[in-house]
């Protein structure tokens, strides 16, 4: 994008992407990690690190 002097909207049109956030995310990943960073598949939300809650019945059985 930057090497070819394209704006964000021109890049969106060129790759047929209608979400500005995707282009901005790709640009950030490229600047932070280089081309290799774009090859990594990233999906979903990050884990918050909190374990799932047990149903009350199971919790009572454990106590």
Query: Residue 59: its pLDDT value, please?
Result: 66
- What is the predicted pLDDT for the residue at 32? 92
Question: How high is the mean pLDDT of the chain?
Answer: 82
**Measured CA distances, 43 to 2, 40, 46 (Å):** 26, 10, 9
Q: So where are the chain's domains?
A: 1-42
pTM, to two decimals: 0.56
21-55 pLDDT, tens digit per residue, is 988 998 899 999 998 988 888 777 777 777 777 67
């Amino acid at each position: 994008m930057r090497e070819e002097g394209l704006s964000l909207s021109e890049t969106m049109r060129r790759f047929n992407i209608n979400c500005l956030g995707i282009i901005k995310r790709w640009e950030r990943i490229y600047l932070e990690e280089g081309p290799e960073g774009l090859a990594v598949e990233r999906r979903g939300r990050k884990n918050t690190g909190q374990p799932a809650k047990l149903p009350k019945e199971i919790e009572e059985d454990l106590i």
